[in-house]
Structure 1
C-alpha cells in the first residue's frame, strides 16, 4: 500500500468526544486496548506488532474497573508510556475496535466490535467463587454472554482447535465467533531462542544449571504453598553449579506489593535468586532456563514448547481442570521430592517428550500475528499493511542478580585435585572446610570468622580524590587487620588472582578455562581461590599446578611468584 494513499488516517480536529458518540481522533481507525489486570495488559502488548508501522491506526488504552489487581494494571500501562483514557471517557467515545484479554468486568459497555484473546495458555484453571464452578473463566458463558444473552465478542481469537471444541460444548453461540490464530506470546518466545546465550550472559549464568520456579497465583500456587523453596534450593545446591530464578504471576505481586515481596524473598535474593519482572522478562528467563519447577500455572506449557524438563511441585488442588494440557503435563512430569531429586529429574528428561502436549495447546506456531492481523483488519475494513507482522524479540533481562558475599566452603583435596562446593553462608550452618568472605561487601561478622578474605579489583575511578594500595600491600594489610584470617586474596581478572597465606609468600594464581567442545567455560575466580587456600592449609609446599574442581568442571591452576604487574596492581578504596 502506498504510504501516501487515501488510506492514510485523516488528522481531523483531534478533539475527543464529549458524550455525543463522535470518534476519538477524527476519521482514522481508533483501536482501544481494554485491560482489567496487569496480566491481561501484557497479553495485549504482545499483539501490538499487528499494527506495527501503520499510521492509520491510533492506539488507546483504558482500564476496566472492578479487579482487585487493577492498580498493577494502571502502573503497567504507565510503564510502557501509553496514554490512558479514563474509563468514563472510554465508554463515551466511539472506537473502531476494542481488544481485550479478559471477558470479565464491564467490557460489554464498550460499543465497538470486540476481539477477545486469552490471557494465558491452555484454559487449565478455574477460579473458585466466581462464574460457573469447574469452568475456566476464559471459556465461561457467564462472562462470554451479555445480560441479554448475546455473545460478548465479535471474534474469539484462540490458540488451538481443541479450545474451540471446548468452547462449543459450553456456548455454541460464542464458538460460532471463534477462530484459531495461535499464541502471539509463544511466537515471541520461539523467535527469541537464538538469544539464549545473550540472556544467560546478562544473568551471569555461565555454565551453571538455571532452574526457574514458575508460580501462578492464589492459595494453590507454588509461591503460597512453598514460600521458602527458593532459599531451600540455594542452601542445598552448590552456588557454582546452580542458579535460580522465580517467575511470579502479576496477581501475586499485586497481592503483596513490591516492598513486601522483596522482604519475603530477601534471604533467597541475597543468595542470588533472580526475580523476573512481570512483563517480557519472565519469557526471556524461560528461553535462558535449563529446567522449570512449576505449579498448575500455564507458564509451564511455554516451557514444554521450549522442550525444557518440567518438574511438578504443586498439582493445583480444585483449581486444575482435568483433561487440559496443563493437567496432562503435570501428570506426566516427575514430582518434586526435594533438592536432592533435581539432578536425577534432569537426567531422566528425553528430548521432545512433552512435544505432543505443547502441540495440543499451541497451534499455528509462528503464524499468530499474521492470522490475527487478517482477522483484525477485516473487522477494521482496511487492507493490512504491506510489511509482515513479526514478533518483537524479547529484550535481555534488566538486571544482574546479586552475588553472595560470604560462602560456607566445602573443600576436599584429593591428590593434585581440590573439590570445591560453595553455599551462601547466611542460609545455614552447614559443615564447611572454611568460610570465605568478600572484604568490603560482606557482613562484619563474617570478616572476623573467615578463613579466606578476598576482594575484586575495580576499574578506574571517575573521582579525582582517591586512596589506593597495591594488591600485594592490600593482602598484607588485611592479614594484619584480621589476625584470625588464614589467607587474603585479590581477584585481578577472570583468569588471574593473587593470594597471600598467613604463613608463606604471596602467589599468583593463573586459571585455565575448562574446554567443553568448542566452548571455554569460566568459573568465579573466588571459588578457585578457596581451592588454593584449602590446598595451602593442608600442604604448604604448594605445587606448581593443581586442579580446582568447581561446579563439576576441572580448572587447571598454575601457581607462581607474582610478577610486577600482578603485585603492583592498584586497588581503589584500599
Structure 2
C-alpha cells in the first residue's frame, strides 16, 4: 500500500475521517507471529480512539497475503520507523530493538520458554538457552520491551533468575490462544462437520512442526498409512508452507487422502475436533493435549528438561501403529497457563496502560476460533 494514502502520510490529517487516534503498530515478520498477534487485536475492537497499522519488516508473499486477507492497513517498515506509535505489538524479539514505541511482546507458541536445548542456527557447541535469557531480552544493557507477556508463574521465577532487570516489564497473562480454544470447545461438532467427519467416524490429526526433526520429515509414511484407519487431517507448521511453497506441500501430499489444513487458520478448530493427535515437540501437540485430545508422539528430538515438550515426551507413548494407544494428558492446560480463561482481560489492561487511555467499558471479547475451511 502507498503510505501516502494512510493517516501517516503527507497531508494525512486532511484525509482522515476519525482524527486524533492513538496509533498501534503490529510487527508481522511471519505468518506464525501474525496468527498470534491477530488474537490480540479483538481486544481493541469498537474503540474509535485507536488506529491500527501493520508492518512487515521482512516482507514475503505468504505473510503479505495473510495480512492483506485480514484487510490490515500496511505501511512499509522504513516508513514505520519514521513515526512514533503509542503501542507496538510483537510476537517475536526480532526487530523490536528498532520499534518506534513501547512494545508489548508475547510468545508465538505454547509458553514463553523454548523446548529446544539450543538455538538451531547456533550449532551444537552453543550454550543452552530457554527464551527468557538476558541476551534475548536486552540490547545494549537495556530491556527492549515495555511489557513481556508470560504464560505461567513458573516463567516469572525463571525470569527473576535469568534477567531480574526485566521483572518490572513482566506480565503473567496466561495464553490467549489456549483461552480461545477452550471457549471453542462447545463448537466441536461444527468443526467436525466442516472437516467432513461423519457421525461415528474417528478423526486423527497428524501434527508437525518444521525442520528435519519434525513429524513431516521423520514420519512421512503416516499420511498414507493412517487413511485406512480413520479420517485424517494434516496440520503443518506455517514455516513449512512458507519455505517450501504451498504448491510443493500439496504436491508431496497429493496421493494422500487427508484434509490439509491451511497454515493461516483452522489448526485450532482441527485440534478441538480431533479424537487422536499424532504429533511431535511442536506447540500444536501441546495445545491438543491441553484441550483434551488423546495424543501420541510420532517423533521427538532431545528437548530441554522441564519444557512442555519434555512433559509430553514423558507422558505420551510413541505411535507404533495402533491409535488406540493414544492417551489424554490430565491438567496439561494448567502447565501452559496459570491464568486460564483470563488472558484477554489481563492483556487488554496491559495494552491500554501502554496506550495511556482508559479501557473501554464493554466486556473483554473471547471469540471462538474459525475452522478455516
What residue is the counterpart of 1:119 in the other structure?
Answer: 108
8 Å CA contact retained: 2:175, 2:336: no
1:152 counterpart = 2:152: no
1:58 corresponds to which of 51, 68, 74: 51
- Residue 36 (structure 2) pairs with residue 43 (structure 1): yes
Show the counterpart of 1:233: 226
Give the Cα separation in 2 of the matches to 1:14 and 1:27: 14
Q: Does 1:254 pair with 2:242?
A: yes
Is 1:108 aligned with 2:97? Answer: yes
- Paired with 1:260 and 1:38, the residues of 2 have a C-alpha distance of 18
Mapped pair 1:192 → 2:192 = no
Contact 2:204 2:233 in 1 (8 A): yes
Unaligned segments of structure 1, at least 5 residues: 1-12, 19-23, 399-574
Structure 1 residue 94 displacement after superposition: 1.1
Which structure carries more helix by proportion? 2
Q: How does 1:17-416 map to 2 (within 5 A)?
A: 27-65=20-58, 70-104=60-94, 106-122=95-111, 123=113, 124-125=115-116, 126-130=118-122, 133-136=127-130, 138-146=131-139, 148-206=140-198, 207-234=200-227, 237-238=228-229, 242-268=230-256, 271=257, 273-317=258-302, 320-338=303-321, 341-343=322-324, 345-346=325-326, 349=327, 354-398=329-373
| Residue-by-residue CA offset, 1:436-479 (whole Å, 9 max, x unaligned) | xxxxxxxxxxxxxxxxxxxxxxxxxxxxxxxxxxxxxxxxxxxx
Cα deviation for residue 15 of structure 1 reads: 4.5
Q: Deviations over 1:190-248 (max 9, x none)?
A: 111111111111222112110111111111111111223211222xx34xxx1111111
**In structure 1, distance between residues paired with 2:279 and 2:365:** 30
For 1:445, the equivalent position in structure 2 comes to none
Contact 1:43 1:101 in 2 (8 A): yes
Q: Is the 8 A contact 2:20 2:49 kept in 1?
A: no
1:188 is displaced (CA, Å) by: 1.1
CA distance in 2, matches of 1:113, 1:376: 10
Residue matched to 1:438: none
The answer on whether the counterparts of 1:64 and 1:87 sit within 8 Å (CA) in structure 2 is yes
* CA contact 2:276–2:323 (8 Å) conserved in 1: no
| 1:197–1:356 distance in 2 versus 1, CA, 3 Å | closer
Q: Per the alignment, in what secondary structure is the counterpart of residue 26 of structure 2?
A: strand
- Gaps of at least 5 residues in structure 2 are 11-15
Contact 1:181/1:372 (8 A) holds in 2: yes
Alpha-carbon distance in 2 for matches of 1:304, 1:368: 19
- Structure 1 residues 275, 385: CA separation in 2 closer, same or farther (over 3 Å shift)? same
Relative distance call for 1:362 and 1:171 in structure 2 (3 A) is: same
CA–CA separation in structure 2 for the residues paired with 1:70 and 1:158: 29
For 2:52 and 2:221, locate their aligned partners in 1 and report how far apart those are by CA, in whole Å: 42
Q: CA deviation at 1:130?
A: 4.3
Larger RCO, structure (CA 8 Å, separation 6 or more): 2
For 1:258 and 1:275, how far apart are their aligned partners in 2? Answer: 11
Change (3 A) 1:363 1:53: same
User: Given the superposition, is the C-alpha separation of residues 31 and 130 from structure 1 closer, same or farther in structure 2, using an over 3 Å criterion?
Assistant: farther
Q: Which runs of 4+ in 1 moved over 4 A?
A: none
Mapped to 1, the partners of 2:208 and 2:158 lie a distance apart of 25
TM-score (norm 1): 0.60
Shift of the alpha carbon at 1:170?
2.1
The CA RMSD measured in Å over matched residues stands at 2.1
Structure number with bigger Rg: 1
CA contact (8 A) 2:184 2:368 kept: yes
The two structures have a TM-score, normalised by structure 2, of: 0.90
Which residue is equivalent to 1:522? none
> Which string of whole-angstrom CA distances, capped at 9 and with x for unpartnered residues, describes residues 134-162 of structure 1?
213x424323212x210110011111111
